[in-house]
Amino acid sequence: QRPSSRPCLPLQQPMAFILWISPSSASIQDQYCESFPPATNYTGLQCNASIDLIGTCWPQSAVGQLVARPCPEYFYGVRYNTTNNGYRECLANGSWAARVNYSQCQEILNEEKKSKLHYHIAVIINYLGHCVSLGALLVAFVLFMRLRSIRCLRNIIHWNLIAAFILRNATWFVVQLTMNPEVHESNVVWCRLVTAAYNYFHVTNFFWMFGEGCYLHTAIVLTYSTDKLRKWMFICIGWCIPFPVIVAWAIGKLYYDNEKCWFGKRAGVYTDYIYQGPMILVLLVRADTLAPLLKAVKATLVLLPLLGITYMLFFVNPGEDEISRIVFIYFNSFLESFQGFFVSVFYCFLNSEVRSAVRKRWHRWQDKHSIRARVARAMSIPTSPTRVSFHSIKQSTAV
């Protein structure tokens, strides 16, 4: 049975093969192809042995026959799977069909192309995660801003952590949309400031998560009264301490690694550890501090991603194994991009205080809407041809 007609392998510059082959080499290939045994022992009208533009040899074959030949091993520098076949029909007039079906020939991806494929998938995961996170974070920020009845120190810390994540996600999009190879090479002032802002908000995430851990540790493990804690203490931890760290990093970059908008690092220059060092230190301190807390609250799976312990994985070398590197790339891309979404869900959307305040707001809005509807109905019912009884309106609204 003749296979279904599918698109042929795309040919770029179809005459390139003919131009490349010298007459002597072409005659050698023709002789080689003619030496192939016929596809059948049929003695009637046949298609002569022929070489197509790709270089596949089609042996002498009977008319009406669909001949299969292995896919070319290489074509235009691309390697193909030779276990599959290309197909060409020998027409009834004894000539080969001009169209060759190479649709089953599959490209074998080399290591470079595999890396590019995984890189593009990781980029998609990052964009999707940051979009979802930014949307959820903005909703959570508005809820904490509007619900004044729940503004205790604990929720103020949550609110600032969400604000830090919003600023970090926003600057991530600015970096992705403005940075390109030309900007990197130019190393203009504004691109260096964008990089510094992104790193600053990145560090504030760590320090606000550290503040969350300190509050939980004080309230649950040390059993101290949280009334002794002050808002300004956490503001200093979350917003103020990262600032001199980034200033010191920027000065180091300016004098020792002032290129490519301060992204990446030159070999032998370790200025990035000026801000990465405090981040690692905060993670280590937080992991040690939260060890008894995790036993106390039995919420390891929730607290680990929220308090940033999973960032420890970003500093682990995945090794040379290909599967390990792929898993590492996808796992880190997912965690880093969706962390803002998880913070919004657990600190705001599942927060019992927030949910209770939202329900009260909703019921209050329904009551107001219901009262207005009753007043409107009462106003629309005349008690006499000339006037409306105010007493009747008052009674109807009191129902």
Average pLDDT over residues 8-23: 35
Is residue 320 over pLDDT 70?
no
Average pLDDT over residues 283-306: 56
pLDDT bin (cut points 50, 70, 90) of residue 49 is: confident
Is residue 12 over pLDDT 50?
no
List the single range of 165-179, 188-202, 250-264 with lowest mean pLDDT.
Answer: 250-264
pLDDT bin (cut points 50, 70, 90) of residue 227 is: confident
Is residue 126 over pLDDT 80?
yes
* Residues linked to residue 87 through DSSP beta bridges, in sequence order: 68, 101
Look at residue 306 in the predicted model and tell me its pLDDT.
54
pLDDT bin (cut points 50, 70, 90) of residue 366 is: confident
Average pLDDT over residues 242-266: 89
- pLDDT greater at residue 384 or residue 144: 144
pLDDT bin (cut points 50, 70, 90) of residue 23 is: very low
The domain spans of the chain are: 42-107, 109-358
Spatial neighbors of 171 by CB under 8 A, at least 6 apart, are 194, 197, 198, 201
Domain 109-358 top-level CATH class: mainly alpha
Look over the chain and give the mean of its residue pLDDT values, rounded to a whole number: 77
Look at residue 139 in the predicted model and tell me its pLDDT.
96
Look at residue 314 in the predicted model and tell me its pLDDT.
57
Is residue 50 over pLDDT 60?
yes
How far is CA 250 from each of CA 96, 174, 196, 344, rounded to the nearest angstrom? 69, 19, 7, 31
Average pLDDT over residues 231-238: 92
How far is CA 163 from each of CA 37, 78, 136, 144, 342, rounded to the nearest angstrom? 76, 49, 12, 10, 14
Spatial neighbors of 212 by CB under 8 A, at least 6 apart, are 157, 158, 161, 306, 307
Average pLDDT over residues 159-183: 92
pTM of the full structure? 0.65
Indicate the CATH number of 42-107 among 3.40.366.10, 4.10.1240.10, 3.40.50.620, 3.40.190.10: 4.10.1240.10
- pLDDT greater at residue 345 or residue 384: 345
8 Å CB contact between 281 and 215? no
Average pLDDT over residues 149-162: 91
